[in-house]
Amino acid sequence: MLGFIKKGLNKTKEALKSVVGSEKKEKLPKDLIEEALLEADMDYDLVEKIINRLPEEVTKEKLKKELAWVFSVPKNDIEINDKPFTFLIIGVNGAGKTTTIAKLAHKFKSEGKSVILGAADTFRAAAIEQLTKWAEILDVPIVKTKQGHDPAAVTYDTIASAKAKGIDIAIIDTAGRLHNKVNLQNELKKIVNVAKKAYENAPHKIVLIIDGTQGSSAINQAKVFKEIVGVDGVIITKLDGTAKGGSIFTIGHELQLPILFVGVGEKPEDLVKFDKNEFIEGILEGLYD
């Protein structure tokens, strides 16, 4: 519970305090709130929308109401209601896909579920090696092939293996070469089609990994992925390393996709379920406390 605000929003809170000061306050002038929210990388239009509804001097309670009003995100519960429940993990290189897959595997394993990984980012040898290392550390099976081989085949084999072994959850990595949209689209579509051949209900969740340190600029990338393959939910990584936590408002608002989890560190346990109220509470702490 505390992980999100403590670890995930620390730098964002510092950014807010750099504008409003760090002493405790009952009320804040609205132009300072405006400046602080922009400093934390909350989208300009969203900030204006909020500011227009505020009086000159704003209490914490009032701002809380307005932040909650403007920030409407779809529900983010994941019900594991099928077997093997398949996650397809997509996103640009470096966004934190591999680390996030390890975190998801760790989470499900610690809930008593069995997990298998699929190394379908066959574009780079390093991606396969990195995921293999995580599989060893976490003691979960992995399906992989040589660099350059067909990612759809790895996807098929992963799901088939999960079925054969009665494994609860399959998590499949993919390559994220965004500079060639057509290739990426073809590859992802093929992976999805082949996943369905392995198991008609797969993939159950296509999850987009977004690098939180990129702030609002990651949104256009996200829109491309949403357009080419469809996305069921997002995970925002590296929140601990950025002062741009306000971008979560923008990401949630613009994409209208469930924010499933946020990454708050590099260790397998550094994954927190996103909670809208906790997030808003963290922003308010940065401003008022």
Ligand X SMILES: Nc1nc2c(ncn2[C@@H]2O[C@H](COP(=O)(O)OP(=O)(O)OP(=O)(O)O)[C@@H](O)[C@H]2O)c(=O)[nH]1
Which stretch in 66-74, 78-86, 248-256, 257-265 sits in contact with ligand X by CB under 6 A? 257-265
Q: Which residue, 95, 100, 52, is CA-closest to 205?
A: 100
Of the two residues 220 and 256, which places its CB atom closer to ligand X in the complex? 220
For position 11 contacting ligand X by CB under 6 A, the verdict is: no
Which stretch in 105-113, 178-186, 232-240, 274-282 sits in contact with ligand X by CB under 6 A? 232-240
Q: Name, in order, each residue with C-beta under 8 angstroms of 4's C-beta and a sequence gap of 6 or more.
A: 262, 264, 272, 274, 275, 278, 279, 282
Which stretch in 40-48, 223-231, 235-243, 253-261 sits in contact with ligand X by CB under 6 A? 235-243
Binding ligand X (rule: CB under 6 A), the pick from 86, 158, 237, 247 is 237
- Token pair recorded at residue 277: 């109220």
Q: Taking a C-beta distance cutoff of 8 angstroms, is the pair 135, 165 a contact?
A: no
CB atoms < 10 A from the CB of 156, how many? 22
Q: Taking a C-beta distance cutoff of 8 angstroms, is the pair 239, 264 a contact?
A: yes
CA distances for 203 relative to 81, 192, 200, 247, angstroms: 13, 7, 8, 28
One character per residue 86-115, x = contact with ligand X (rule: CB under 6 A): -------xxxxxxx----------------
Binding ligand X (rule: CB under 6 A), the pick from 118, 151, 263, 286 is 263
Of the two residues 34 and 247, which places its CB atom closer to ligand X in the complex? 247
For position 266 contacting ligand X by CB under 6 A, the verdict is: yes
Collapse the DSSP code of 56 into the 3-class scheme (helix H, G, I; strand E, B; otherwise coil) and give the result: coil
| Nearest-approach distance from CB 93 to ligand X, in angstroms | 4
Cα distance between residue 200 and residue 179, in whole Å: 31
For position 238 contacting ligand X by CB under 6 A, the verdict is: yes
Cα distance between residue 289 and residue 88, in whole Å: 40
Q: Taking a C-beta distance cutoff of 8 angstroms, is the pair 251, 222 a contact?
A: yes
| Nearest-approach distance from CB 105 to ligand X, in angstroms | 13
List, as residue ranges, the binding site for GTP: 91-98, 173-177, 237-240
List residues binding ligand X (CB under 6 A). 93-99, 127, 130, 237-238, 240-241, 263-266, 270
List, as residue ranges, the binding site: 91-98, 173-177, 237-240
